[in-house]
Structure formats: C-alpha cells, structure tokens
C-alpha cells in the first residue's frame, strides 16, 4: 500500500492554492510524480508504480529511454528552437511520409488539439464548405469544434451537436454534425443528406477504446470518396501505436488526411497534420493563392528537440520484433485484467486493442459512446483507486502498454489486478 510523505502533502497544498482544482487539468491531482524510468514511475513520497498512463500515451518506449535521451542531449547543445526549418524536423517529416499511408506532405504543430483543429480547417478550405461530421464521444482535442458532443451526459438527437463545456459559442453547434460510431447506415444516410454542405468527416479509427466494426471504416471511406468529401483519421493516439503506419495500416483503410501526436514526438510537444498533397496545398500561398491560403504559424512547430526525440523513437519502433513484443505484452495484461474481474464476479468487457484497453463494467457489447456510458463508471473509478494503492498507475478510462513494460512489470500488474478485483468485490458485497 502507498504512503504519503509530508513533502508530498505540502506540494498538494501548494497545488490547491495556485492551480485551479489543484492540478493541470489532466488526471485527478492526488499524486505528485517525481520521476519515471522504463515502465515505472515514482511519486514524491517514494512510492513506485507500474505506469499504464505513460504520459497519456506518448512514452511508447517507456520513460527516460537512454537512446532518446542521448539524441535530445546532443540537440540541446545545438539549440532548442529556431522558428525556422531545421534538419531534424525535415527528416521527421520524411519519416512520416514513408511510414503513414495517407501522408504525401506533413505540417507540424505542437499539440493534438492544434493538429485536429488545422485538419478540420484544411478540409473547409479544400471543400469551401463549413460543416464537419464527427462521432459522438470522439475526442479531437480542446478546440470548440472538438469539444462538441465529446461527453454528453444527456445525449441528444442525432445529428444535433451538444456543447459539453462552458464558453463555447452557440453558433459552433451549427457547424458540426454528430453521428453514432460504428453505425454505418446512420453515417451513410447523414453524409448523403448533407453531401452539399459537408467539408469533411473526422473520426478516430479506434474511438477511445472501441475498435471499428468489420466494414465500418471501409464504408466511411467509400461514401466520402463517392462525394469527394475529405475523410480525416484522428491518429493522435493510434499513430505509430497500433502499427508503424498507424491505425490506417492496422485496419487497412487510407484516409485523405490524418493527425498525429503523442508517440511521434517521443514525449515532447509535437504533432502533425499529414495527407494528400492537393489538400495540404492550402498551407502554401504560392499554390492556392490568397483566397485559398490557410496560414498556420506556431512558435514551436517542428521544434528540433522534439523532432530528434521523434526520429529516435521511430527508429527504435522499426526494429524487428518491436510491435510483436508490444502486442504480446498487451494481450497478457488485457486477458489478465478481464480474468481477474470475472473471477471476482463482475460482468465486464475489456474493449480495445492490445496496446490500449480498459475494463467497462457492463454485460452488453461495447460498440459506441452510449454503450460505454451504460457501464458502471463508479466501479471503474474505484478500481483505478484500488490499483493505485497496489502500485499500478492508470487513468479512469485507459491502460496504455509500452515496450518498457517488462516481465517484472507484467507480474506486478497481474498480481495487482487480482488483489484489486477481490477488494472491489468485497466492497461491493458489503454495501
């Protein structure tokens, strides 16, 4: 069990004083992390954890990878940012074009939010239309557009978008359409009905933890191609995780544009929009003229420190056996989590793919946002707390697997799964 030191208690108190809600707005702020090495992290109190948060996904190689650190250290001696073209950034763009099926050209940004925002804007510039179709529960960053129908507590009628957050202008609602994920008939009907005013369709090819149903992505690809509507894959999470070429390689469907982040920056702030050259041309005034030009400026876009971290990360991922190892570890952990909870008497599904998954406490199939919300969220949150007490660090909604999760990490995690599941069952029975 974990203990809390006076030093960590003092830091928590400072955080509550100087930070809204006592944190950075990411996961709940109870724990203050001191360091990470490989597949583990330690808090300020000295408690160690098997880390299945891995920075919300970017640390696919684990924390403080020595080769990535060495590449970054070498670049630091040459400077940290230039606001100009640099060799590492150009080389990273080249590597993305070589790896990602849809990528003919690349433009860098600093966050997944920026990349998704610019991808939607590119689709609007290309089609000279305004509306974007997204899918209920799909996460496309923190822009006004991305936040529409992200986590509606009272889902409305499709295709009406719901602003889930304060501060979003009312008129944004009219520029977005919303559809259920994994319902191809609904998507086809909506795209057909709005084919004249749709600028693009943006989708996570694996929505949070929900894989696409057989034929679903293929169907989206077919109808968007039929009407000349750009299909955007948000691969900020899945890029270089499900396969070296991302979800579009893994599922065998190529979009017109995609967004990348997390893994591609090797743990540093870097994201990208990649796709067809004729759409990406709207970032080039000389090619499309003033009326079609989309300016995109970022102080740290293509930052050389992030670029060298990304280049080294991709180099390591290309080595033989990398993805086989990642998937083998993920399968063992995923099966172990499901088994522990079922043996403890819970009705549970473990949706996802081996590199990322989690438990949803429900008897029904998990195939879209609303079926996910039918799960018992209170049980999921309590499981996260019980696991943290037993040395496993995760968010309430996802387990990320890394190449640094070695046999000892897996052994400790499986033991924690069993113990936490039994404790959760005992608590449930005592109510």
In a domain, 19, yes or no: no
CA distance 179 to 185: 10
Label residue 150 by pLDDT band (50, 70, 90). confident
pLDDT tens for each residue of 260-277: 999 999 999 999 999 999
Q: What are phi and psi of 166, to 5 degrees?
A: -65, 150
For residues 114, 143, 225, 187, the Cα torsion angle rounded to the nearest 10 degrees is 150
* pLDDT confidence band for 155 (50 / 70 / 90): confident
The reply to whether 247 falls in a domain is: yes
State yes or no: pLDDT of 353 exceeds 80: yes
Whether 234 is catalytic is yes
pLDDT exceeds 90 at position 2: no
In which band, very low, low, confident or very high, does the pLDDT at 165 lie, cut at 50, 70 and 90? confident
Share of the chain above pLDDT 70, in %: 100
DSSP states of 221-272: HHHHHHHTPPEEEEETTTTTTSSTT-HHHHHT---SEEEE-GGGGTTSS-EE
pLDDT by residue (tens digit) across 310-337? 999 999 999 999 999 999 999 999 999 9
Q: Are residues 353 and 424 in the same domain?
A: yes
Q: How far apart are alpha carbons 266 and 260 in whole angstroms?
A: 12
Q: Map residue 403 onto helix, strand or coil.
A: coil
Residue 224: give the domain boundaries.
66-317
Catalytic pick among 134, 262, 312, 394: 262
Same domain, 306 and 351: no
pLDDT at 193: 97
Per-residue pLDDT at 30 exceeds 90: no
Residue 163 pLDDT > 90, yes or no? no
Q: Of the candidates 274, 290, 317, which is a domain's last residue? A: 317
Could you give the 3-state DSSP secondary structure of residue 38?
Answer: strand
In a domain, 26, yes or no: no
Domain match, 265 and 387 both: no
> Rounded mean pLDDT of the chain?
96
* Residue finishing a domain among 317, 347, 380: 317
Q: Which of 376, 371, 398, 375 is nearest to 183 (CA)?
A: 371
3-class SS at 382? helix
Instruction: State how far the Cα of 220 lies from the Cα of 203, in Å rounded to an integer.
Output: 10
For residue 205, pLDDT over 80 is answered with yes
- 159 within a domain of the structure (yes/no): yes
Same domain, 303 and 356: no
Same domain, 297 and 334: no
CB 137 within 8 A of CB 131: no
Are both 328 and 307 inside the same structural domain?
no
Do 327 and 400 have their domain in common? yes
φ, ψ (nearest 5 deg) of residue 386: -65, -40
Instruction: Using a pLDDT cut of 90, give the percent of the chain over it.
Output: 90
Residue of 241, 408, 251 lying closest to 313 (CA atoms)? 241
**Helix, strand or coil, per DSSP, at residue 322:** helix
- In this structure, are 288 and 329 located in the same domain? no
Token readout for 22 is: 């006592």
pLDDT digits (tens, 9 = 90+) for 357-397: 999 999 999 999 999 989 999 999 999 999 999 999 999 98
Model pLDDT, residue 91: 98
Instruction: Give the pLDDT mean for 134-138.
Output: 96
Give bridge partners of residue 392 from the DSSP assignment.
50
Q: Clarify whether residues 119 and 250 are in a common domain.
A: yes
Please state, in angstroms and rounded to a whole number, the distance separating the CA atoms of residues 250 and 191. Answer: 25
Catalytic residue among 139, 145, 250, 323: 139
What does the pLDDT average to over 104-123? 98
Question: Which residue, 317, 342, 362, sits at the end of a domain?
Answer: 317
Closest by alpha carbon to 95, among 266, 253, 256? 266
pLDDT band at 107 (very low <50, low <70, confident <90, very high): very high
pLDDT for the residue 162 = 84
* pLDDT tops 90 at residue 160: no
Q: Is residue 344 part of a domain?
A: yes
CATH code (residue 177): 3.40.640.10
Residue 388, in any domain of the structure: yes
What are the phi and psi torsion angles at 158 (to 5°)? -65, 145
How distant, in Å, are the alpha carbons of 29, 269, 331 from that of 19? Answer: 10, 21, 38
Q: Give pLDDT, residue 133.
A: 98
Is residue 374 located within the same domain as residue 288? no
Residue 1's pLDDT band (boundaries 50, 70, 90)?
A: confident
Same domain for 84 and 196, yes or no, is: yes
Catalytic residue among 51, 116, 234, 368: 234
Structurally, the chain folds into a number of domains equal to 2
Residue 41: its H or E element: strand 40-43
Q: Tell me what the mean pLDDT of segment 414-426 comes to.
A: 98
DSSP state, residue 212 = P
C-alpha span between 346 and 426 (Å, rounded): 11
* 396 within a domain of the structure (yes/no): yes
Q: Identify whether 139 is a catalytic site residue.
A: yes
The pLDDT of residue 161:
87
Contact in structure between 217 and 251 (CB atoms under 8 Å): yes
Do 83 and 162 share a structural domain?
yes
Look at residue 252 and tell me if it is in a domain.
yes
Q: Is 312 one of the annotated active-site residues of the chain?
A: no
Residue 36 belongs to domain with CATH number: 3.90.1150.10
């Amino acid at each position: 069990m974990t203990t809390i030191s006076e030093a960590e208690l003092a830091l928590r108190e400072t955080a509550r004083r100087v930070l809204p809600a006592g944190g950075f707005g990411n996961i709940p702020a109870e724990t203050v992390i001191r360091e990470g090495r490989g597949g583990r992290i330690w808090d300020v109190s000295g408690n160690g954890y098997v880390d299945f948060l891995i920075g919300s996904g970017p640390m696919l190689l684990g924390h403080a990878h020595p080769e990535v650190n060495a590449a970054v250290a070498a670049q630091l001696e040459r400077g940290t940012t230039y606001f100009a073209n640099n060799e590492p950034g150009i080389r990273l763009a080249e590597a993305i074009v070589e790896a990602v099926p849809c990528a003919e050209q690349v433009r860098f940004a600093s966050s997944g939010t920026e990349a998704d925002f610019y991808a939607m804007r590119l689709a609007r510039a290309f089609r000279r239309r305004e509306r974007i179709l997204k899918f209920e529960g799909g996460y496309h960053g923190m822009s006004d557009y991305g936040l529409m129908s992200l986590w509606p507590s009272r889902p409305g009628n499709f295709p009406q978008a719901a602003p889930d957050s304060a501060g979003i202008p009312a008129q944004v609602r009219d520029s977005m359409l919303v559809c259920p994920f994994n319902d191809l008939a609904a998507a086809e009907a909506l795209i057909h009905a709005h084919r004249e005013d749709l600028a693009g369709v943006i989708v996570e090819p694996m929505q949070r933890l929900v894989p696409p149903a057989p034929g679903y992505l293929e169907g989206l690809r077919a109808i968007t191609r039929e009407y000349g509507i750009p299909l955007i894959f948000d691969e900020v999470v899945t890029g270089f995780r499900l396969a070296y070429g991302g979800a579009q390689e893994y599922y065998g469907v190529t979009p017109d544009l995609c967004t990348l982040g997390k893994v591609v920056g090797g743990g540093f702030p870097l994201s990208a929009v990649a796709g067809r050259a004729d759409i990406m041309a709207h970032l080039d005034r000389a090619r499309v003229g003033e009326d079609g030009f989309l300016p995109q400026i970022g102080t740290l876009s293509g930052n050389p420190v992030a670029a060298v971290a990304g280049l080294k990360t991709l180099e390591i991922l290309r080595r033989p056996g990398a993805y086989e190892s990642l998937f083998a570890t993920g399968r063992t952990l995923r099966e172990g989590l499901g088994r522990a909870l079922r043996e403890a008497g819970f009705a549970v599904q473990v949706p996802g793919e081996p590199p990322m998954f989690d438990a949803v406490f429900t008897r029904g199939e998990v195939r879209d946002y609303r079926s996910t919300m039918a799960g018992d969220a209170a049980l999921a949150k309590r499981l996260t707390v019980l696991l943290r007490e037993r040395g496993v660090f995760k968010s309430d909604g996802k387990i990320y697997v890394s190449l640094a999760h070695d046999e000892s990490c897996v052994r400790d995690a499986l033991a924690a799964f069993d113990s936490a599941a039994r404790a959760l069952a005992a608590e449930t029975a005592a109510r």
